[in-house]
Structure 1
């Protein structure tokens, strides 16, 4: 049982900022001191705890790992079918059927041998390919010893919102030994991916790519592959989350995770085995290899499935022609290095017009937005078919410093979608403030750092999905999770304030992409938007955006997809500690949708069961909305009386 102790108390700000103070070496702005003062309401914290002194992290040569479960007999396979695409066979409106058997397997993605959670004993997991108009069916059989659920990241669940995946939001989880078949139709082409949405088990290897093809796709290439680039932790996700539930213990002595062990490219990375404690098996991996014909154009669909770090991706000697952001084709942007936040996808075109046989591809952590930033890089090989030789190439000399500010692509460039979409009216506004705080587990007295929206951290009743609550007309409990509800047609403008001191976040909206119509620094209110110039003429559309410290964004969401949609930080450890809210779209229409009988069969009669790695119980009665001093919080949706559609930022 957990109660809110100091959700917005300045001591908590000192705790978070203190972690930066203790270890900040003047790097970047991702974890710097750009903090806004947060003031508690008198009733929020009658007994504030004292400031918490963050212990120093272990030096890199003393990184340790926790005891591992016994390694399974079966070893996870690296199958090129998980990243090699076959565009020729995907034509016409068909049903694409897949079987995913979830199990534990042994693997060493970073060289450190550990237990993985995989689908079909593959890491990365199986690739799903389809064409626009196809129906995808994925039968998931759960052979794990814990429940599970899968999310289809970026896919519009038009007419099947109950299959979006998050347990406690859109479904009950698939129990151990059980199975469930997800069915949904794909209406848009682009780069997507699937991953676990139960606890933090995505960090254990349960993810894969989804690519939807169309003859109308304007992006042309001679070949294409999926490329996963991400951070990696040698420890089990439940071990990490358990440590984060007690700030006096933490994970490796830290209350906030910030030190990944490696970077992976398509499931392969390199750990310094000399840093591994005696008795732990560790081997040096080969590197991933991408082969393509000289003179061809290669499309790489680059996905970051990581738990914490923004990844900086580059290819020696080859300019990146960026042509897709999430699933939106864009006018080409040319760069030497591309920043990719967790959950984001980009397509880049490489012209294979260089003279040598092979070149290094590089993926490195953007240390400026990882707490206690640690410089890590891994490599893969881009090999020209028919040529001999190993890479001797050097990185681009103008790559960003490792501690450079972490910002999204539309903060650096003017990003223009190739296809213009009309933004519907009328517009309703709503606001969500992202902020962190400190909780106390009253059963143990342990303090831990939680993350939330609008002063509420997510409480996950996994056997009583929010979708069903809305469908049945039940009122939603405002102490369990922050939520906004939008009825009728038109659009919703969601004002998202990023108030967490010292921490940047990538935010992902389920259900459909949004348009980014404004950004700014500091904190914004709905009333303050009257003076903001909006970009409503073909703004960037995507489903995952990166918000730096002390900044805000205004997202326009068309209300054309009825459902209950999660919005959350895509840093897995923050999500595991509560940074998730819910947006309800056209609740009046959900009562007319019907789930399959199989969906109901997943749920038990215990509607009070709490899901893993989330807040364990309600906040105390003392907890309540706490805005800035002298300000009335304006979280409730309201109609817009003034528009800025003709003006641009």
Structure 2
């Protein structure tokens, strides 16, 4: 096992030279074997010591083996300041290999700390430790999670917030009506709190994958929705399932000659296997245990509580970072009686947008300012799945009370913005609209990009050989990549005919077309490591163009070249009645081996990914520690 000394560390050196005391949980030896990084100012080194264990835990009242981080789920909040050097020492006390990925962190100059097994590092074996080291060149809301098989579904995840520098321009003056409100918003941002949304199954990811292999179908049916690690199994009555069935579900039920969702609110195995999947693919539906789709056993379990203390004589504002850490689900988020001012998306400021409801998909983050109700009460925080595969909802409590008050507050009596399938309850409810999102300050990079990119890559999305196998470029990505020689350590030859490895050169502009080739096909949340992507356009049908420049001549209304949304995770449009496409653009400025993949866990396990060798002409030199790690 690799040993990390804690004495002559970067932090110890910082204290010795400056006399500054730094409050962190761990530090590690910085030698010539590691990256030599410098914080922007002072002794900005933040260290985190994470021990991963495999234990019984019952976040929704049903106990199962799952991954805990320092004995908890979700893992501890990592609070970092922009410009800090970040050291994360991971001890793997689980019986499985693992890695840790920092979702949305671009890892400028430290590709070896991106956490993708076989791509940027060797796996952390049971009993071993591994040091991730990188610089916080960004600000905002992020999260960390396993990147080994389906371990994210087993609970290996946690929130991360990078506090922006004091001199970074904020968009809050566009919300505040006066100086006092502006001060309150700035103060709220400094102590913003995460709201981690996740889905939970009562089978481990390994057992769930084995069931899919045996049955020959996907099993997109979960047991509960958790908010900040807590929830309960809620079994809807037949009357409620019938009343809340969505139009998309109604169509699928009819095609399957069925009338009702299962007791867990799911489309049945029959519909998943015989209606939505290719009927020619081999299947064995009898191998699916009843508890996966059909049997719902309710639990009584405490819900998460977020406490808010409001001042007696002034406006109260709170800031929250909403994190979509789902393995599968997508859906609508709202807080009863409280509008949401969205001021940052995926860790970057935007022109503030006041909404009531936000659709949250896999991997995304929304930073919101919330004007707190002047009325004490217990207000419901709610998430309602809008995925056709399952109707399910989760809840938490926002407890508002006046400062110095210890009285028990009553349940609030307000009309929710949404029902349990995410549908608006009144016509006045406002949903977040991604197409109306504008960067703050304005994003000039994409405006100055060439009309025609240096290269255009068309990635065909399809099911490949079995309904649980997905291809992002017509080829299944080999999730068992050679751990002895990760791609970063030995890049693939550029002339190799390899559908799962793309190669670019520094300073190129790349357009990627994601083409759903078959239907019906759900949206796929596509995440790119190493850089954000601009969403240039989307549409229905086949993208019959060699470039965006060519498409602009024919269908200019399908594109936004002036103010496109910029994110690290973007969902493809659903292919409901025919094929569909989405075009993203990015600028190659961060050389290294990066992953591009669907963030639905079962789709990633099924091979829906490609590797990108960005900037092959300026390939990074990997520090000896990472090269030598075993």
Which category describes the TM-score, using the shorter chain as reference length? 0.7 to 0.9
| Alignment correspondent of 2:624 | 596
**Structure 2 match to 1:355:** 375
- Give the helix-richer structure, 1 or 2: 2
User: Given the alignment, which residue of 606, 609, 614 partners 1:585?
Assistant: 614
**Contact conserved, 2:224 with 2:234, CA < 8 A, in 1?**
no
Query: Is 1:512 paired with 2:522?
Result: no
Change (3 A) 1:417 1:477: same
Structure of greater relative contact order (alpha carbons < 8 Å, 6+ residues apart):
1
TM-score normalised to the size of structure 2?
Answer: 0.73
Which residue of the partner structure matches residue 374 of structure 1?
A: 391
Match of 1:414 among 421, 436, 440: 436
Separation in structure 2 between the aligned mates of residue 236 and residue 392 of structure 1, nearest angstrom: 37
Does residue 286 (structure 1) correspond to residue 302 (structure 2)? The answer is: yes
Partner residue of 1:49? none
5+ residue gaps, structure 2, are 1-23, 26-39, 173-185, 237-262, 265-289, 425-430
- Preserved CA contact (<8 Å) 1:506 1:571: yes
**Pairwise CA RMSD:** 2.9
Q: Does 1:467 align with 2:488?
A: yes
- Distance (whole Å) between structure 2 residues aligned to residue 122 and residue 400 of structure 1: 28
User: Alignment partner for residue 482 of structure 1, among 457, 480, 500?
Assistant: 500
The alpha carbon displacement at 1:585 in A equals 1.0
Q: Give the number of equivalent residue pairs.
A: 491
CA contact (8 A) 2:317 2:369 kept: yes
Q: Give the alignment of 1:373-392 within 5 angstroms.
A: 373-385=390-402, 386=405, 388-392=408-412
Match among 121, 124, 128 for residue 71 of structure 2: 121
Summarize the alignment of residues 240-389 of structure 1 with structure 2, pairs less than 5 Å apart: 240-246=208-214, 249=215, 255-272=217-234, 284-294=300-310, 295-366=315-386, 369-371=387-389, 373-385=390-402, 386=405, 388-389=408-409
Report deviation, 1:557: 0.6
Match 1:548 to one of 553, 567, 573: 573
Alpha carbons of 1:432 and 1:168: their partners in 2 closer, same or farther (altered >3 Å)?
Answer: farther
Q: Distance in 1 between the 2:94 and 2:134 partners?
A: 24
User: Which residue of the partner structure matches residue 435 of structure 1?
Assistant: 461
One of 110, 113, 123 as aligned partner of 2:60: 110
- 1:506–1:545: 8 Å Cα contact kept in structure 2? yes
SS at match of 1:152: strand
Relative to 1, partners in 2 of residues 1:431 and 1:508: Cα closer, same or farther, differing over 3 Å? same
User: What stretches of structure 1 of length at least 5 have no aligned partner?
Assistant: 1-80, 83-89, 440-446, 603-649
The answer to whether the 8 A contact 2:393-2:420 is kept is: no
Q: CA deviation at 1:425?
A: 4.4
2:563 corresponds in structure 1 to 538
* Deviation per residue, 1:37-84 (Å, 9 max, x gap): xxxxxxxxxxxxxxxxxxxxxxxxxxxxxxxxxxxxxxxxxxxx99xx
Aligned to 2:175: none
Residue 548 of structure 1 and its aligned partner are, at CA, apart by: 2.2
Hey, what's the Cα distance between the residues in 2 that align with 1:289 and 1:434?
A: 43
1:102 to 1:375, Cα distance in 2 relative to 1, 3 A: closer
Q: Distance in 1 between matches of 2:331 and 2:421?
A: 13
Distance (whole Å) between structure 1 residues aligned to residue 496 and residue 227 of structure 2: 42
Matching residue of 1:134:
84
> Is 1:221–1:349's contact at 8 Å kept on the other side of the alignment?
no
Is the Cα contact below 8 Å between 1:245 and 1:448 reproduced in 2? Answer: no
For 2:70 and 2:169, how far apart are their aligned partners in 1? 30
Distance 1:341 1:492 in 2: 24
CA distance in 2, matches of 1:403, 1:574: 27
2:488 partner SS: helix
Structure 1 residue 457, shift from structure 2 partner: 0.7
For the 8 Å contact 2:84–2:136, the answer to whether it is kept is yes
Which residue of structure 2 lines up, in the alignment, with residue 85 of structure 1? none
Does the aligned pair in 1 maintain the 2:225–2:392 contact within 8 Å? Answer: no
SS in 2 for 1:171: coil
Secondary structure of 2:603's partner?
helix
SS in 1 for 2:83: coil
**TM-score, normalised to structure 1's length?**
0.70
Q: Whole-Å Cα distance in 1 between the matches of residues 449 and 383 of structure 2?
A: 42
Q: Which moved more, 1:153-162 or 1:409-418?
A: 409-418
Using a 3 Å threshold, how does the CA distance of structure 1 residues 500 and 382 change in structure 2: closer, same or farther? farther
Distance between the aligned counterparts of 2:541 and 2:503, measured in 1?
26
* Superposed displacement of residue 596, structure 1: 3.2
For 1:400 and 1:110, the matched residues in 2 are separated by 18
Deviation, 1:499, is 3.3
The alpha-carbon deviation at position 331 of structure 1 amounts to 1.1
Residues 193/599 of structure 1: CA separation in 2 closer, same or farther (3 Å cut): farther
Q: Is the 8 A contact 1:157 1:511 kept in 2?
A: yes
Q: Provide closer, same or farther for how the CA distance between residues 242 and 477 of structure 1 changes in structure 2, counting only shifts above 3 A.
A: farther
